[in-house]
A and B are shown apart, each in its own frame.
Chain A
Amino acid sequence: MSHLPKADDLEATWAFLEQGISQIMERTDEGLTYPKYMDIYTAVYNFCTHNKSGTSNNIGNVFNNQVRGAYLMGSDLYNNLIKYLTGFLLKRREIAEQHSEESLLNYYTKQWTQYTTAAQYVHHVFKYLNRHWVKREIDEGRKCVYDVYTLGLVRWREDMFNYVQHQVMEAVLKMIEAQRNGEAIEAAFIKKIVDSFVSLGLDENDSTKSTLDVYREFFEKPFLLATQAYYKNESETFLSENSVVDYMKKAEARLSEEEARVQMYLHPSTSTPLLSTCETVLIKNHSEPLHEEFQGLLDNDRQEDLARMHGLLSRVTDGLAPLKVKFEAHVRRSGFSAIEKIASEGEAVDPKVYIDALLAVHTQYNGLVTSAFKGEAEFVKSLDNVNPTPIENIDKIGLPRIRKSKQELLAKYCDSLLKKGSKNADDDDLEGTLTNLVIPPSGVLTHRQMTVFKYVEDKDVFQKFYSRHLAKRLVHSTSASEDAESSMISKLKEACGFEYTNKLQRMFQDIATSKDLNDEFAEKMQQTHDPSELPVDFNIMVLGSGFWPLTAPTTSFNTPTEVIKMYERFQQFYGNKHQGRKLSWLFQHSKAELKASYAKGSKIGYTFQVSTYQMGILLAFNGAISHTIEDLQSLTNLNKDTLDGSLQILLKAKVLLIIPPDGIVGASGTRYDLNMDFKSKKVKVNLNLPIRSEQKQEVEDTHKTIEEDRKLLMQSAIVRIMKARKTLKHVALVQETLSQIKSRFTPKVADIKKCIDILIEKEYIQRVDKDTYEYLA
């Protein structure tokens, strides 16, 4: 081993090593012969261990020298290595500084590759130093000692990177800009630069780990800044020269381009900050023109562009909020104009046309929400929120012709579907229509989709009208199908819960019970009475007053002698059966059939289908064929309105004749004669027609009862809340009341306040401070 330097001669050793290292560093691609590699490794080994091997010469100093010597020797080599690397890099740096732009990148990346490869070799030949001296230094906590490879990186960072990174980055950014401008670039350079920057992120505390600090600070930061500037400039210029629609396409393309850029040559961690930068510059900063464009797109139904806009704005926070508001307003307007069209067509609004128009509007926008807005819950909600035709708004926008609320129309529409003789004879079709009205069709995407019933926000109003119509159908047996009825009820139940349909269901029960009751009563009568004592067919419905939207008659009425026995018998029968129950007779909802055999025109006579009141009037003519208005009044005991209204129909049908013929119905001094010459093509004559004033009254009553019910509902909610909370601020109380009542109807704040006022006056609560209430037990 004579060609190796002497182990204790530092200068000779280093000279030997330097020659080898520079062979590695400078001519890396030539490689190193194995013997050469072994020589260098051995020289390092020898140097680091020379005191150990020379123990026989220096017995006295063994201990000391062994420890201190290894330390000193290692550090000398290490320091020399640093010096060498610094010198090496200085030369390279000087060359680098002569390059610029792409050639600089070329040079830098080439040098980097070579340098790191070489550093690996050097790391290996200094393995002994790494394993012992370096390890001990690190163990002892020395900060600035690294293994040889890491040392190489540190030197690169200190002696090369710190000087040239600025120019390098400039070149990189120029390239990226060129690429953004559509030029082809050598992306591999950038990839390599990125990798080198990442590699330089050394963790000072643990050399085996790396951080992204260097990359973040020297690459990502300037890159993001450049990106921001570039797109700020581009987007502003583009928008000033092009339409918003084109801009959206551009922005969309740019965003996907940047996403691809990350894949292509950036560190994956850059993805999030890069996209958020781009989103801010490209979308957020221009959200105003985008929002402005939204209406135009809606108006022209540009689904594709709407989808694009939704896609873009959904990427930034709060980007969609203004869209939701506008969308809601737009759908509302569409609803208005649809209704406007209907209203302009005529005085009477056909509920079917009305509902169909609403359904059409809904279908259109539901489609839009699904396709363009990705069925996003928030937009579905906006659609749900839309309240296209509140009655007061219709009045405001100058459409006074539709006086009916949509709840009323919807209820009426349901009635027309469920009533006998409706056009929707086809059962399947009917089922489908009802479903469409109430329950969302069960598609996966559209499962939150709403239908007309959801448009109806004050569901209590609908319920009132619906129950009125239902009551009529049940009382007059005009319901087309029991199945359809119960299917409707179960749909309503599904949509609004058990409580909502409770009363409706009870109504069906009452009808069923009444059937049994009638049978029982008829049987009983046959047992106890001779058939001659039962001249009248009798059928009754006993309905629970709490469940039926029926009110006591507004007029008094003398039960005619012909039927009074039956009336009393049933009264007694029922009284025995259910003690303590009180029967109120709702004559205004009752009807009768009268056989008339007096008419000269017919041999078999006629059957008049009449209301109870008409029956009372007509039966009076059994006693005499002519009565004054006063006679009729005292015989029937009906109030003037009812009497006049009933007479009107009888006169119109020419069952009765008024004397004088031009007399005003109900005026004093008029007489009413039975028309002996009455003629009709039909044997059965239906005279039981609704009196006009009654109908109007009914709607008014319904609205009135709704108002009353609501007041009670709000008051009881307030009392409940106050009872639980004892004291509460005004605003909180209003809020809680709102949220409790919401499912039934949307109360106005002013109405809640009125209820609070009432409760203060009734001393359920009191004001303890300007805006605080206290519950009074």
Chain B
Amino acid sequence: MHLPCTSLVLISRLISSTASSPLVPSMIQTLWFIVDADREADLIPPDGFQTLCQDLQIDLETPDPIVMSYKLFNASDLCYITHLEWSKALTTNQYMPLLHTANFVRIDSLDTLKNRLAEFTTLDPDHLGDFYKSLFNIAKPNNLKSLDLETAIPILSLLPQIRPVPHLESFIAFLTVKQPVKALNRDQWNCFWEFSKSMDPSFVGYNIETSAWPTLFDEFVDWLKQ
């Protein structure tokens, strides 16, 4: 059988060959060296993250990499994984049974690996809201308070692959065509989730005069009605 020589397969081989005891710090460190990490900055940079995803056969065109960042690594930045996040994920993360030897399933084929991966690229519906909210933090640069449209729109566009998001398409159109803002602030970002869930398709009863939604949504509804 031919296995592609990817880092994760290396990882699994390494683990399976050593012991059935829990993962020890030295082991995590070893894995850190295997992945494409930037030793000086002590983090996995975007290209390393990309390689990691490719190795895990996670499609970069899907929300899966982001979901994994959120679920597996609890990452604070999109496409970055810090050393701390890495070791935490590998030792304590509840979604990380893969590398815990106690639960270890011998990965002898790509299929087994992919089956395990499915666990941390799917989201419990209850966690969707939290996931959505955390996207804002994950996606925006740390030194800024808002998320520019160039980043926000591609991320929003991925959401329907996880769950249908009403009004998303028109909202994105509104942001792209009308360009009412250059960036979304946290309030606008957070509110969109609620907004999308609670609005009926034709916005019946939406009163621009009295709504408590951020002004951006008033403009959006106004724009749609025109």
Contacts and interface: CB of A to CB of B under 8 A. Distances in A.
A760 B212 CA distance: 13
A754 interface: yes
A637 B209 CA distance: 51
Contacts of A766: 187
A757 interface: yes
A761 interface: yes
A499 interface: no
Contact of A767 (B146, B190, B209, B210): B190
Contacts of A771: 212
A731 interface: yes
A760 to B, nearest CB: 5
A753 B211 CA distance: 9
A749 interface: yes
B218 interface: yes
Contacts of A767: 187, 190-191
A760 B185 contact: yes
B212 A750 contact: no
B194 A750 contact: no
B22 interface: no
A761 B145 contact: yes
A761 B194 contact: no
A730 interface: yes
A761 B185 contact: yes
A761 B198 CA distance: 23
B214 interface: yes
Contacts of B208: 750
Interface residues of A, number: 14
Contacts of B214: 753, 757, 760
A770 interface: yes
Contacts of B190: 767
B215 interface: yes
Interface in B190-211: 190-191, 194, 198, 208-210
Most chain A CB within a 10 A radius of its CB, from B213, B215, B216: B215
Contacts of B215: 750, 753-754, 757
Contacts of A754: 215
A760 B210 contact: no
A589 to B, nearest CB: 38
B212 A757 contact: no
Given A750-B218, A761-B145, A731 B187 contact: no
Contact of A757 (B187, B194, B198, B210): B187
A749 B185 CA distance: 21
A547 to B, nearest CB: 34
Nearest to A773: B212
Contacts of A753: 214-215, 218
A174 B212 CA distance: 64
Contacts of A729: 212
A750 B216 CA distance: 11
B187 A760 contact: yes
Contacts of A757: 185, 187, 214-216
Contact of A731 (B186, B212, B213): B212
Nearest to B190: A767
B187 A761 contact: yes
B210 A731 contact: yes
A543 B166 CA distance: 59
A553 B57 CA distance: 65
B145 A770 contact: no
Most chain B CB within a 10 A radius of its CB, from A753, A754, A766: A753
B20 to A, nearest CB: 49
A593 B219 CA distance: 56
Nearest to B188: A757
Interface in A736-769: 749-750, 753-754, 757, 760-761, 766-767
Contact of B194 (A731, A749, A760, A770): A770
Contacts of B216: 757
B103 to A, nearest CB: 40
A487 B208 CA distance: 45
B187 A770 contact: no
A761 B145 CA distance: 8
A757 B187 CA distance: 8
B124 to A, nearest CB: 23
Contacts of B213: 770
Contacts of B218: 750, 753
A747 to B, nearest CB: 13
Most chain B CB within a 10 A radius of its CB, from A730, A731, A757, A771: A757
Nearest to A733: B212
A135 to B, nearest CB: 73
Contacts of B187: 757, 760-761, 766-767
Most chain B CB within a 10 A radius of its CB, from A730, A731, A761: A761
Given A750-B218, A761-B145, A770 B185 contact: no
A753 B187 CA distance: 13
B214 to A, nearest CB: 5
A122 B186 CA distance: 97
B191 A749 contact: no
B132 to A, nearest CB: 15
A159 to B, nearest CB: 68
Nearest to B195: A770
B72 to A, nearest CB: 29
B197 to A, nearest CB: 10
Contacts of B212: 729-731, 770-771
B208 to A, nearest CB: 8
B145 A749 contact: no
Contacts of B186: 761
Contacts of B209: 749
A408 B172 CA distance: 42
A757 B212 CA distance: 10
Contacts of B185: 757, 760-761
B127 to A, nearest CB: 20
Contacts of A750: 208, 215, 218
Interface in B21-59: none
A767 to B, nearest CB: 6
A701 B216 CA distance: 27
B136 to A, nearest CB: 13
Interface string B85-123: 000000000000000000000000000000000000000
Nearest to A761: B185
Nearest to B216: A757
A750 B145 CA distance: 23
A45 to B, nearest CB: 87
A766 B185 CA distance: 12
B202 to A, nearest CB: 20
A217 B218 CA distance: 61
Contacts of A730: 212
B189 to A, nearest CB: 11
Nearest to B145: A761
Interface in A579-600: none
Contacts of A760: 185, 187, 214
B30 to A, nearest CB: 43
Most chain A CB within a 10 A radius of its CB, from B146, B187, B191: B187
Question: Closest 10 interchain pairs by CB?
Answer: A730-B212, A771-B212, A760-B187, A761-B185, A753-B215, A754-B215, A757-B215, A757-B214, A767-B187, A770-B194
Interface of A: 729-731, 749-750, 753-754, 757, 760-761, 766-767, 770-771
Given A731-B212, A750-B215, A761-B185, 8 more contacts: A750-B208, A753-B218, A754-B215, A757-B187, A761-B145, A761-B146, A770-B194, A770-B198
Interface of B: 145-146, 185-187, 190-191, 194, 198, 208-210, 212-216, 218
6 contacts: A750-B215, A753-B215, A757-B185, A757-B187, A761-B145, A761-B186
